[in-house]
A and B are shown apart, each in its own frame.
Chain A
Amino acid sequence: MNNSFIQINNISKHFADVKAVDDVSVEIKEGEFFSLLGPSGCGKTTLLRLLAGFEYPTSGNLLIDGTDITALPPDKRPTNMVFQNYAIFPHLNVEKNIQFGLRKLGLSNDEIDKRVKDVLSSVKLEGYEERFSNQLSGGQRQRVALARALVRQPKVLLLDEPLGALDKKLRDEMQLELRTLQKNIGITFVFVTHDQQEAISMSDRVAVMNDGKIQQLSVPNELYKNPENIFVSDFIGETNFLKAETKSSDGEFINVSIEGLGEFKIKNNLNIAANSSDVVCSVRPESMMISKVKSDWDICLDAKICQTSYLGEMTRFYVEAKGIDKIITVSSQHFDNQSFENNECFISMSLEDISLLNKK
């Protein structure tokens, strides 16, 4: 398997004085489900469009399967794209939409028919051949767009926030379907989204982007458990940031003074400098525990509940804890908003759940 199937080498794209993509380099593996994740304006869609050929890079080059495609127009690239608004041709029915890209491949009519039939069944739209775009629901249009791109059997499928316009339930279903589909076909997917849950649940690897740069590129677990900087830590899931100062270093560990809580030994994954006040500690709400009695965890604090958010499957508690001057979020599947009568509680955290990050 080709580990650098798609090579993005020092790609930059400037629009006037805006650096939409700033010197990005990535290698995407063959057959991988790869996501570009980030907020609006981070450059993820621009990067995708650079891969598709709709934008021309200001500098850098792109290779797919060893071939330099940088100067190739979109119609000559081995990629196909599923557009955010689906871009279904309104003057053609579903069947003609899907057939559209097959004309230039020089296939026999039988071969074309077969491919169209196969792809329609794989997106579960058999029987919809005669319908037009305005007779389809959002979800159906999305599948037509998918089918139309897949039927050409591209080397790479590019997806530009394809699930953004769907309602939540449909979106969850489609996420599963897409993932299964990708595994069955084996095509490399490059998927753009701003929804971190989506990215984490579907992808083999995720590149988190902001300000045109890649902030972190890892498998989903790593992104979640070991974020490398504040942006990623804040963007993926939820977290609490605590003021900190590093003291002396101790091999793999480093002594950190956390707010008003004292000094603790934290694992120094990112090689952060000793004696620095340019650092911050991050701890996720779901890794903390809220309780009615004191616990024996590494850190246990008295706290008072200010607000709760009942979400059904869990409850979020917004607490004021002794020694910390901002509101801490703790989530619990065990207790809910009715559990604490006089709003007094204890919150606990374990040292191995605290991440040390540079303040950038």
Chain B
Amino acid sequence: MNEKNSTLLIYTLLYFGFLYVPVLFLPIFSFNDANYMSFPLAGFTTEHYEEMWSKRNLHKALWASIKVGVVASVVSTTIALFAAKAFARYKFRGEKISYGGIMMPFLIPEIILAVAILVIWVNLGFKLGLVPVTIGHTLFCTPFAMLILIARIEGFDFSLEEASRDLGENAWGTFFRVSFPLYLPGIVAALLLSFIISFDEFILAFFLTGSDATLPMYMWGQMRFVQKLPHVLALGAVIIVFTTFIVLLAFWLRNVGQGKAKKDIAIKL
């Protein structure tokens, strides 16, 4: 395996370029002093950012997204934590079906999920709004959080829990004193990633919110108008930076503590 394959390397780098270009363009153009986004760039300006920040609707939408995101991520991570423990720790009948069932929201086109929830919500007589959106997001984030947590729990040494029980702690005590502290990095990672997923999610919000817009819906509204283009770019750039930062943090956390548990520093006696 000592060959270096430069063709493949170049191709890979080009592919990277393909992947990153759309993401990088937004921040670049957000500083462009023009209404149309074309090369060559016109002047440099930060006025789009100032403009963006002044819009009240934006603030409302941002706040709505944060509310939904926090609730959805906390609930889905909690549910996923218990479910992950069940899958990672026990062998039981119906395991595969349950697993498939919980993963389902992930595996079908989102629009179908949105439509289904819309139908039942409206027919139960409830109003559309942030509540069904939160429910939909919780449903959607749970499989995600579960995947992260299952990986985390599988790397967990179960004899630690047994030791805790052996030393007199009941199941709850064991959870709080042993499992939870050791799961914590994974839990935080799941929380952050779930939040991001909810924060960026569009389709469920589109179908299920009434007049309360989430941030993606606000952007959707703005995208249709050419003159609003620049400040959407500014908003987009901010969101990209923000989400990238959170995602990197989550990835780092995911691996924290896993390596430690497996490393064995044997100092000679």
A contacts B directly (C-beta below 8 A): yes
State the A residues within 8 Å of B (CB).
Answer: 52-54, 73-75, 79-81, 83-85, 87, 89-91, 100-101, 103-105, 134-140, 148-149, 152, 170
User: Can you list 25 A-B contacts (CB < 8 A)?
Assistant: A52-B162, A54-B166, A75-B165, A79-B166, A80-B166, A81-B166, A83-B162, A84-B159, A85-B159, A87-B157, A87-B163, A90-B260, A100-B164, A103-B168, A104-B173, A134-B260, A134-B263, A135-B265, A137-B266, A137-B267, A138-B269, A140-B269, A148-B167, A149-B166, A170-B269
A74 touches B159 (CB 8 A): no
Q: Residues on B close to A: CB < 8 A?
A: 157, 159-160, 162-170, 173, 177-178, 181-182, 260-261, 263-269
Among residues of A, the one whose C-beta sits closest to the C-beta of B159 is A87
- Provide the bound-state CA to CA distance between A74 and B264, in Å: 28
A353 to B144, CA, bound (A): 69
Chain A residues with Cβ below 8 Å from B261 are 90
Nearest A residue to B182, CB-CB: A91
CA distance A338 to B264 in the complex (A): 44
Do the beta carbons of B265 and A134 come within 8 Å of each other?
yes
Smallest Cβ distance from B139 to chain A, in angstroms?
33
Complex Cα distance, B268 from A53, in Å, reads: 35
A residues near B265, Cβ cutoff 8 Å:
134-135
Residues of B within 8 A of A135 (CB): 265, 267
Alpha-carbon gap, A134 to B165, bound state (A):
22
Complex: chain A residue closest to B174, CB-CB: A75
The smallest beta-carbon distance between B96 and chain A, in angstroms, is 17
Contact call A152/B163, Cβ cutoff below 8 A: no
Q: Are the CB atoms of B167 and A152 closer together than 8 Å? A: yes
Which 10 A-B residue pairs are closest in the complex by CB-CB distance?
A101-B167, A87-B163, A104-B168, A87-B159, A74-B165, A137-B269, A137-B267, A101-B168, A81-B166, A139-B269
B267–A136 CB distance below 8 A: yes
Asked if A100 and B170 sit within 8 Å, CB to CB, the answer is no
> A88 CB to closest chain B CB, in angstroms?
8
CB-nearest residue of chain A to B165: A74
Q: Could you tell me if B182 and A90 are in contact, using CB atoms closer than 8 angstroms?
A: yes
| Complex-state Cα separation, A138 to B268, whole angstroms | 8
Give the complex CA separation of A170 and B178 in angstroms.
Answer: 30
Q: Report B238 CB to chain A, min CB distance, Å.
A: 37
Tell me if A100 and B167 are in contact (CB < 8 A).
yes
Q: Which residues of B contact A90 (CB under 8 A)?
A: 160, 182, 260-261
- Decide: B169 and A83 in contact? CB cutoff 8 A: no
Nearest CB in chain B to that of A140: its residue: B269
- With most chain A CB atoms within 10 A of its CB, the pick from B163, B169, B260 is B163
Shortest C-beta distance, B194 to chain A (Å), equals: 24
Asked if A89 and B178 sit within 8 Å, CB to CB, the answer is yes
> Which B residues are in CB contact (< 8 Å) with A85?
157, 159
Q: Which residues of A lie under 8 Å from residue B169 when comparing CB positions?
A: 75, 100-101, 104
Let me know if A83 and B163 touch, CB within 8 A.
yes
> Which residues from chain A contact B168 at a C-beta distance below 8 Å?
75, 101, 103-105, 152
What is the minimal beta-carbon distance from A167 to any residue of chain B, in angstroms? 9
A160 to chain B, nearest CB (A): 9
Shortest distance from the beta carbon of B61 to any chain A beta carbon, whole Å: 41
A135 to chain B, nearest CB (A): 7
CB distance from B268 to the nearest CB of A (A): 7
**What separation, in Å, do the CA atoms of A193 and B197 have in the docked complex?**
51
A66 to B170 alpha-carbon distance, docked (Å): 24
A91 and B265 CA atoms in complex are apart in Å by 15
Task: Give every chain B residue within 8 A of A91 (Cβ-Cβ).
Answer: 181-182
What distance in Å separates the Cβ of B113 from its nearest Cβ neighbour in chain A? 38
Contacts of B160 in A (CB 8 A): 87, 89-90
- The complex places the Cα of A140 from the Cα of B266 at a distance, in Å, of 10
Enumerate chain B residues within 8 angstroms of A53, measured Cβ to Cβ. Answer: 165-166
Chain A neighbourhood of B159, CB < 8 A: 83-85, 87
